[in-house]
Structure formats: C-alpha cells, structure tokens
Amino acid sequence: MREIKASDIIEAVADMCVRATTKLPEDVRRSFEKASAQEESPAAQEIFRQLLENADLAEKTGLPLCQDTGYAVFYVEMGEDARVGGSSLKEAINEGVRQGYEKGFLRKSVCHPMTRANTGDNTPAIIHIDLVKGDGLKISFMAKGGGSENMSRVTMLAPAQGWEGIKKFVVNRVAEAGPNPCPPIILGIGIGGTFERAPSIAKKALLRKLDDVHPEPEIAAMEAELLEEVNRLGIGPMGLGGKTTCLGVKIAMAPCHIASLPLAVNVQCHSARHEEVEL
C-alpha cells in the first residue's frame, strides 16, 4: 500500500486550476490556427485572430483566458493499492481548489441554487472517482463555464430512433444554442448507460485532445459525420457566420438497458480548459 500525501494533492490541484484557466491547450491553439486558415469570412477570421491574441495575452500576463473561470470538475483514477495520508481524497481536492482559485485571482462562481449565495471559494468541486489497479493517482481537471454548460442537454431516446435520432438531436441542440455557448464549440456526446451515466461520460469525453482519433473506426466515423453536420449550420465563430461552428466531436459509449437509448450532449466553449497530473 502506497501513501500519497494530502499536501501533494492540494499543491497539484491548486497548480492545475491556475494553469488550466490561463494557458490554452496546444491542441486547441492548433485547431484555431487551422480553422482560421480555412475560413473565408472576414468576420470569422477576425474572431480567430482575437482568440489567438487573447491566448497569448493570458499566458503572458497570467490573467484568465475567460472571466468565467468555471466550476471545478475532476475525473480521478485512484489505484486500489494507494491511500491518501493526512485527509480524505475529496477534502484534499477541495482544498486545492480553494487555494488555486485564491492564488490565481480566479472568479468564484459556485452558489446556492435558490438563494444564490456564493460559497466564496468555488467549492464544492464535482469529483468523479474510479478505482483502478495499481498504486497511482491520476487527476484530470476541467474548468466548466456556465454559458456552455447551460446549453447542454440529456434525453432518453427510443432504441428505434437509433443513429438518425442521435444526429437529429445533436444538430438541433447546436442550432438552438446558436451563439450562446461562445462558439466555436467542442461537443462531448454520451450514448448509452442510464439517465445519469450518459451526461457523465459525455463530459469526460471532452478531456480527449482535439486531434485524438477514436480507436474504434465505427465511432471515429460517427464523430466525423456529426462534426460535418454541425458545421453545415454556418453559425460560425461567436455566431457571426462561417465554416467553423464546432472544433471537434468526442463520443463515449456505455451499455444500456434494452428499452432505452440515453443520449447526452455536453457543450464546451472555445476556451477548453483542462489539465492532468499523475502522482
């Protein structure tokens, strides 16, 4: 049994919160540059120029990429032969969020759902924990903004609706969302599982890199087809029109009940902020 110090987890999480909210991932930057070169609309080209300039300024100054520094969401893989010394894993992660959002002067956006009273430190974080073999600890962090999260949806399709029903729901969701999630967007699609499982795997799918091709050819083809269909909408960067409404579609699947076809669409804005650390 290997012991991982809570203090190491706190420090790692705090650093992730700051890095993720101030440094645009390289795969997203490359996607901006590629999309900009393909755009014909002057307005779309200008938006990408501003997004790249914004990323440069954020990295140079240490200021956030976006004023909405998000709800802190974590996907954790905890080895069965590891334990946390000094506090519980959840306590350590939440303390890391408190320290990171304070250290980085990041906006605290978490509040009571009815009174709207702010918790003051961006906690409690959303923490998903999977037990895996070994004695390691892998923590993936995502700063999920409210504008894109509000455009996300989950539905329970009939099995007979199949792939055509899935495509129709996804494309309609993006069309209805329009400029609200700050496109160009990234889509995490969860297919299968249960009512609560589908949105969880949809959000986790957003942790994949944009240039990551799904290892299963059938799913990779589905992702490419959805991306093409969504970009045909012509919403474009920031809703001003253009070829690039969506930068990527990432699908995750899980077995489901024979009577159900759960489907979740988790929308991510252009500021796809995530970090990963292994302890």
pLDDT tens sequence across 41-64:
999 999 999 999 999 999 999 999
Confidence check: pLDDT of 1 > 90: no
pTM over 0.85: yes
| Per-residue pLDDT reduced to its tens digit, 64-105 | 999 999 999 999 999 999 999 999 999 999 999 999 999 999
Give the residue extent of every domain in the chain. 2-20+65-144, 147-272
Neighbours of 12 (CB within 10 A): 22
pLDDT at 222: 98
From CA 70, how far away is CA 145, in angstroms rounded? 4
The sign of the torsion formed by the CA atoms of 103, 107, 111, 115 equals positive
Q: Which two tokens stand for residue 130?
A: 């999977």
Q: What percentage of the chain has pLDDT greater than the value 70?
A: 100
From CA 14, how far away is CA 24, in angstroms rounded? 17
Q: Where are the beta strands (DSSP E) in the chain?
A: 2-5, 71-79, 82-85, 126-132, 137-144, 153-157, 185-192, 246-254, 261-268, 274-278
- With H, G, I as helix, E, B as strand and everything else as coil, classify residue 154: strand
Q: Please state whether 157 falls in left (phi above 0), alpha (psi between -120 and 50) or beta.
A: beta
Q: Where are the beta strands (DSSP E) in 16-104?
A: 71-79, 82-85
Nearest to 267 by CA among 170, 185, 169: 185
CB 245 within 8 A of CB 234: yes
Average pLDDT, the chain: 97
